[in-house]
Amino acid sequence: MSGKKQDNIQVYRKKWHFNIGVVIFGVILVYLLVTVLTYVTAKRVSSYEVREGSIYRDNAYTGLAIRQETVVNADAEGYINYFVPEGSKVGKHTNVYSLSPEKLELTGTGQEEGQDEAAQELSSEEKEMVLQQTRSFSSNFQDANFSDTYAFKDSVENILASSSSQSRQSQLAALLQSQAAGVSAYTSAEDGIVAYSVDGYEGMTLEQITPEMLSKADYKRTELTDNQKVQAGDAAYKLITDEEWTLIIELSDDMAQELADTTDVQVRFSKDGETAWGGLIIYNMEDTNLGFITFHESMVRYASDRFLDIQLILEDETGLKIPKSAVVEKEFCLLPQDYLTQGGNSSNTGVLIQKGGDTARFEEAKVYYRDNETDMVYLDADAFDKGTVILKPDSGETYTLSETGSLHGVYNINKGYAEFIQVQILCENEEYYIVASGSDYGLVNYDHIALDGSDIHEDEIVIL
């Protein structure tokens, strides 16, 4: 029985079982391959996060300062010394300077007489004045005006000398009281602010100003210092008797026209960063335009300056702040907006392209900008050939694409690829634009854009 041949054995194929794990692994593998390939081939770009901000539109000028100034001359010959520091307010009959036949050996600090060592320290106000003078000289120095170096030196020396004014005043008073031989004091004839420099502009009226006077090329100023020998009739000091003063600036024709209806303007002074409002009057001359800005404050702060560098603050524009490097200009096809339609089975916007005869084909078209004034829309110029005939919906009218227009915009990279977004520029400075927000085709706060718009193209895949 055991040796009987078995010839009726049937072989069954194994039933194939669906393995979900293999499928998932395959999907993941394909995803990883696509991701790696995309990463390798995608362009790496630097991004900028759009944020709300504001910038000033500054217009820089150098202005000529005209004040009500009087040069007070020395009454006699001698060596002059001053009782009060420059910029001080003096009253009528206040001692301003002394004259002596010989130089006076004033200690300045009084330390030789046993006074406190702290007396030689500069006050905080004097330190700030030196710092302001240094900053102003450093930022405005030009090789062509090397003479400004000496004016800067004299100004600083005057400030340093004023640090010992109280000691000098007490010593001068002591000399007068002791009736030292030949020492005489001279008082102010009226109230005012004293200044120890002259330049020939004293007594100048606004009607006498010419455009040539606004140039610093031939400007010369004489500093009046202690222990300087003077003759009778020489300038002893300058007295400013009115708080009102005027800055004169030269304006281009375009700026003069822009400011024609402006009566008040805000000014920022480069010397110390302070701002002030002044009344503006523009005189249109044959070859130029002069702007006269009159102030009723801050005269004392700038009493020693004949020329001042300023900026006119004409706008404080607020919007979305973007770097200029991100903005590019792109050309588009122009189409009347009533030629736009929607696809039969979708809500996508597009146009009907005439194919010949009565047939037309729907093609999606992205609208980059809609100009409500001209009723034209901007379409991608690369998506349509020039001369393409567009059929107007529900009408037999046609329009041939021929007209083009350009838009300023940036490349939005929120979605991982570059998408051109038009921007409306409101204001600018050297590095940034302020653009409008809230438009249908514009940027919004916190969008990410390509920092360098010239190095990227529409629909290009990017990696941040």
For 80-139, the pLDDT digits (tens) are: 988 888 888 999 999 899 898 888 877 654 434 444 444 456 667 677 777 877 877 777
Whether residue 12 has pLDDT greater than 90: no
CA distance from start to end of the chain: 81
**Residue 24 three-state SS:** helix
Q: Is the pLDDT confidence value at 47 over 50?
A: yes
Q: Is the pLDDT of residue 171 over 80?
A: no
Contact between residue 366 and residue 440 where contact means Cβ atoms under 8 Å apart: no
Mean pLDDT of 169-193: 81
What six digits make up the tokens of 274? 């302070």
Nearest residue to 217 via CA among 271, 149, 156, 146: 146
pLDDT: is 452 or 461 the higher one?
452
Give the Cβ contact number of residue 114 at 10 Å: 6
Q: What gap in Å lies between CA 87 and CA 192, rounded to an integer? A: 9
Beta bridge partners of 400: 389
* 3 state SS of 148: helix
For the stretch 329-363, pLDDT in tens is 999 999 999 999 987 677 789 999 988 767 888 88
Contact yes or no for 313/276 (Cβ under 8 A): no
The SS3 of residue 128 is helix
d(CA 340, CA 333): 13
Q: What is the pLDDT of residues 269-281, one digit of tens each?
A: 988 788 999 999 9
| CA 300 to mean position of chain CA atoms | 27
The more confident residue out of 289 and 177 is: 289
The HSE-up count of residue 318 (CA atoms within 13 Å, CB side) is 1
Buried b (16+ CB within 10 A) or exposed e, 342-351: eeeeeeeebb
> Which tens digits make up the pLDDT trace of 74-96?
999 999 988 888 888 999 999 89
Residue given tokens 């034209």 in the structure block: 376
Confidence of residue 377 (pLDDT cuts 50, 70, 90): very high
> pLDDT band at 143, cuts 50/70/90?
low
Q: Is residue 462 a contact partner of residue 39, using CB atoms and an 8 Å limit?
A: no
pLDDT at 7: 62
Q: How many CB atoms lie within 10 A of CB 146?
A: 9
Across the range 378-383, mean pLDDT stands at 91
The Cα–Cα gap between 211 and 283 comes to: 11
Q: pLDDT value at position 8? A: 63
Q: In the prediction, which pLDDT does 50 show?
A: 94
